[in-house]
Structure 1
Amino acid sequence: MKFTVTQIAQVVGGTVEGDSAATVSTLAKIEEAGPGALAFLANAKYEPFLYTTRATALIVSPELVLRQPVGAALIRVADPYSAFTKLLEFYQQTTRTGRRGVEQPSFLGAGSTIGAGHYRGAFSYIGENCVLGENVLIFPHAYVGDRVRIGDNSVIHAGARVYADTVIGQRCVIKAGAVVGTDGFGFAPQPDGSYKAIPQIGNVMLEDDVSIGANATVDCATMGSTLVRQGAKIDNLVQLAHNVEVGRHTVIAAQTGISGSSKVGDYCVLAGQVGLVGHIVLANRTTLAAQSGVQKSVREEGQVLQGYPAFNLKDNLRAAAVYRRLPELERRLTALEKNPLAPDKM
């Protein structure tokens, strides 16, 4: 599928410099692009590739000043990164497989309904009394339990599991192998030292535009709902325990675990391998650096934390600098203890 530079500019709302009639048929990185490719430049460290790339067209910033002639047509937009993301979405939509209808064998339970334009792949299972909207895609080997509700234009990828009573909004994506709505980790200790399972009778609710990554797990609530709010993006291999709440447009990277009943605010960023204890609150716009561990609530908005236990990023970096010097400081202390009158030559 080919598009002219002018057509691309219309999609991203940009202005063209150079050959507006040139055509592109693929997207590529600026350092790897060849003829017929469209790339973008958003990071200054890639600017040298601007003059060597073989791309047919480039998305760049209006402020970019050319240091020498370029061979590609330029599409200038206010935010090249966001524009390229929009273009990737456009490309995905125009090249989508367009699968519709029902492959056999598949199962649709009694009392369940599914809207127009849907797709049910082979070996998919939909339980009883489910309500699925229009253009919902259920890929092969996906499982949807009883009484599940899925909004328009949502996608359940191959091998995903959506347990009973889960509510999924519009334009949500559940990626391969994800499990949404399984029992939370609730066990009551018994006098003999054993543990008895506590029934988990709540559900999971995903609001609109939520993404759940491959092999991620979202546990159902003990009572009430585990809640992932609008626009939140959950990476692969993330664990959200029972009764957790994730705020709007929060992003959570891989191998993060959030313990039961903790509440993460809006617009937060949790990097990889972050851990939260249970029953705490993260204020809106909190950022947690990779491998941070949070043991108590963060009440002040906009903080950037790092470490275990997590505390202010700048203080943590200063503490790390001191930590690296501990062997040297120990040698100096030992020398002073042996001969306190000797000058410190370290």
Structure 2
Amino acid sequence: MDFKATDIASFLNGEIVGDGDAKVSNVSKIEDGKPGTLAFLANPKYENYIYETKASVVLVNKSFTPKEEISATLIKVDDAYQAFASLLDLYVQAKASMKQGIEQPCYIAESATRGDDGYVGAFAYIGNNAKIGKNVKIYPQVHVGDNVKIGDDCILYPGAKIYDDCVIGNRCIIHSGAVIGADGFGFAPQADGTYKKVHQIGNAVLEDDVEIGANTTIDCGTMESTIIRKGVKLDNLIQIAHNVEVGDNTVMAAQTGISGSAKIGKNCMFGGQVGLGGHITVGDNVTLGAQSGVVSNLKSNQTLLGSPAIEIKTAMRAYVLLKDLPEIRRDVLQLKKTINTDKKN
């Protein structure tokens, strides 16, 4: 699908410098630009690439003033990075809109209902009494269990699994291999050393505008709901245990693990491999650096690092000392030796 520079500029309310009839059909990084692609320049340290890029069209900030001649057509906008993101939204929406109808073979229960303009891919399964909203894209090999509710404009990529009774809000994206509503890790120790399974009869609820990464798992509640609030973004390979609640617009990077019944506030940011213990509460606007471990409640508006996590400035000072520990040990041993020698004398 080709787009003219003038059409792109009109969509972005941008100003064209160069050939308005230049056409693009794909995007590229400015340093790897190819003819027929669109790139962007937002970071000044990449400016040197704009003078040699082969991209046909480049988005730049209105404040950008070239120092040399540029062969590409420029579109000047208020914020090149945000404008590029908007174009990617448009591209993805146009691509998704091409998916329509029901492919065969697939299974859709007679009692299930679907809104208009949807798509169901081959080998997908939609269970009894499932309710699917408008413009929902269900890709091949997706499993939607009994009594599941899915809002409008959602995308479920190949192999996503939604267990019975779960609720998915509007405009959610669930990537391949994600599992929503599997049993929480509940086992009661027995006198003979074995473990008896504690059945998990709750569900998982995802509110509006949630995105779940590939192979991320969100367990159902034991009796109630595991809740992912609106606007939450979870990376790939994350584990959310039973009865957890994640607050609005919180984001988590890959391999984070949240133990059962933890409550996380709004607008938090967790780096990769963060771990939270069970039954703890994290306030709003908390940032946890990569590999942080949290074992107790955290108040709002903090940035922490380490395991156990401590205030980031303290953590950085501790890391400096840790790096110097071999030399400190050597000095202490030398000092101890000197003191012992003085005592003998």
TM-score relative to the length of structure 2:
0.94
Partner of 1:3: 3
RMSD of aligned C-alpha atoms? 1.8
Partner of 2:136: 136
Distance 1:30 1:156 in 2: 32
Partner of 2:322: 323
In structure 2, relative to structure 1, the CA distance for the partners of 1:191 and 1:277 (3 Å cut) is same
In structure 2, relative to structure 1, the CA distance for the partners of 1:284 and 1:16 (3 Å cut) is farther
- Which letter does structure 1 place at the counterpart of 2:100? R
- Which letter does structure 2 place at the counterpart of 1:225? S
Verify the 8 A CA contact 2:293 2:309 in the aligned structure 1. yes
Partner of 2:272: 272
Alignment of 1:164-313 (within 5 A): 164-301=164-301, 303-313=302-312
- Which letter does structure 2 place at the counterpart of 1:335? Q
Bigger mean CA deviation after superposition, 236-245 or 71-80: 71-80
Alignment of 1:23-172 (within 5 A): 23-96=23-96, 98-172=98-172
Structure 1 stretches of at least 4 aligned residues deviating more than 4 Å after TM superposition: none
Distance 2:174 2:144 in 1: 11
SS in 2 for 1:330: helix
Partner of 2:335: 336
Verify the 8 A CA contact 2:285 2:300 in the aligned structure 1. no
Q: CA deviation at 1:71?
A: 2.2
- Which letter does structure 2 place at the counterpart of 1:340? I
Distance 2:267 2:42 in 1: 23
Distance 2:282 2:46 in 1: 36
Distance 2:86 2:282 in 1: 30
Unmatched runs of 5 consecutive residues or more in structure 2? none
Deviations 1:211-234 (A, max 9, x none): 111111000011221111112111
SS in 2 for 1:326: helix
- Which letter does structure 2 place at the counterpart of 1:200? Q
In structure 2, relative to structure 1, the CA distance for the partners of 1:39 and 1:207 (3 Å cut) is same
In structure 2, relative to structure 1, the CA distance for the partners of 1:152 and 1:300 (3 Å cut) is closer
TM-score relative to the length of structure 1:
0.94
In structure 2, relative to structure 1, the CA distance for the partners of 1:273 and 1:134 (3 Å cut) is same
Q: CA deviation at 1:332?
A: 0.7
Q: CA deviation at 1:175?
A: 1.1
Distance 1:183 1:295 in 2: 24
Q: CA deviation at 1:6?
A: 2.1
- Which letter does structure 2 place at the counterpart of 1:126? I
% of aligned pairs identical? 50
- Which letter does structure 2 place at the counterpart of 1:48? N
Distance 2:340 2:47 in 1: 58
Q: CA deviation at 1:146?
A: 0.5
SS in 2 for 1:339: helix
Distance 2:155 2:46 in 1: 35
In structure 2, relative to structure 1, the CA distance for the partners of 1:300 and 1:170 (3 Å cut) is closer
Q: CA deviation at 1:193?
A: 2.6
Distance 2:173 2:195 in 1: 35
In structure 2, relative to structure 1, the CA distance for the partners of 1:14 and 1:314 (3 Å cut) is farther
- Which letter does structure 2 place at the counterpart of 1:276? L
Distance 1:115 1:169 in 2: 14
Distance 1:14 1:279 in 2: 50
Q: How many residues align?
A: 342
Q: CA deviation at 1:178?
A: 0.8
Distance 1:54 1:140 in 2: 37
Q: CA deviation at 1:341?
A: 9.2
- Which letter does structure 2 place at the counterpart of 1:285? N
Q: CA deviation at 1:97?
A: 6.4
Unmatched runs of 5 consecutive residues or more in structure 1? none
Distance 2:331 2:242 in 1: 51
Distance 2:49 2:136 in 1: 41
Bigger mean CA deviation after superposition, 140-149 or 56-65: 56-65
Distance 2:110 2:35 in 1: 54
Distance 1:96 1:140 in 2: 14
Distance 1:246 1:12 in 2: 34
